[in-house]
Amino acid sequence: MTDLPATQQVASDRLGGAVARTPLHFVFVLDLSGSMLRGGRIQALNNAIAEALPSLRDEARANPHAELLVRVLGFADEPRWIIEQPTPIEQLRWDGVEAVPQGFTELGSALTTLAEAMAELDVEGGRTAYPPALVLVSDGRPTQSSGVTFAEGLHALLEQRWGAAAVRLALGVGRDADMNALRRFIGNEEVPLLRADNPEQLVEYIVWASKAASQVASRPVIGRATAPGVAGTTRVPPAPIGDPIWSQTL
């Protein structure tokens, strides 16, 4: 594991001066509900995240002025941080996640937790950061066993300055994914909304979404009040050839 402090500095100009790298917070929000146990979805999700990390490292190397800090939030009956501390992408190691048998899809609670994390960015001097990049992956419809609805959680997120300004992408897994809820999370009709119907697609789409979110988040003027568009940033990958197993009844 490479020992790189979060305050790593880089030489940035011809005079040999060094400036602090600007934080770019990247959060995977992953559905770990019981339905993710069907059809090898959770294994495919773990493979997809592992495949996405090298692309994120490449993006970080291509932009020496941004320090890519990654977190992972999982949710089923309740949200929980898989990786809670913002971790430099160079240090990140992916050990995988497990789905919760018979677990619900408490997306509202997850977005409330995410809103709290976005609020902390302002406390930590977030006005000097790039907009966060948020990538949501879900295979079901939001449930409400905790008392927090999806609408309430989304409202809490968008009430936060960095929640509203974030580059938000979403990916549905299989035919039962609530694409309307995922579209509302994105909040921009021009941004591609993808659905993966087999493991190969899930890998390609998560790699695409991770790369696109990182590219766009590091491009805008610092402190933008509104989220930049992702459309046209990079082409959506073609659907891989393969059996659409997650579009069938399992």
Q: State pLDDT tens for residues 186-218.
A: 999 889 999 999 999 999 999 999 999 998 888
pLDDT of res. 154: 98
Q: State pLDDT tens for residues 63-88.
A: 888 999 999 999 999 999 999 999 99
Helix, coil or strand: residue 187: coil
**In this predicted model, which residue has the larger pLDDT, 13 or 233?**
233
Q: How many CB atoms lie within 10 A of CB 2?
A: 6
pLDDT of res. 234: 54
Q: Which domains occur in the chain, in start order?
A: 30-221 (3.40.50.410)
pLDDT above 60: residue 12: no
Q: Where are the alpha helices (DSSP H) in the chain?
A: 41-62, 107-123, 150-159, 161-165, 179-186, 199-217
Single out the residue of 68, 67, 146 nearest to residue 111, CA to CA. 146
Confidence category of residue 11, pLDDT binned at 50, 70, 90: very low
In terms of residues, how long is the chain?
Answer: 250
Judge contact between 152 and 192, C-beta under 8 A: no
Give whole-number Cα distances, 14 to 7, 10, 11, 18, 21, in Å.
21, 12, 8, 10, 16
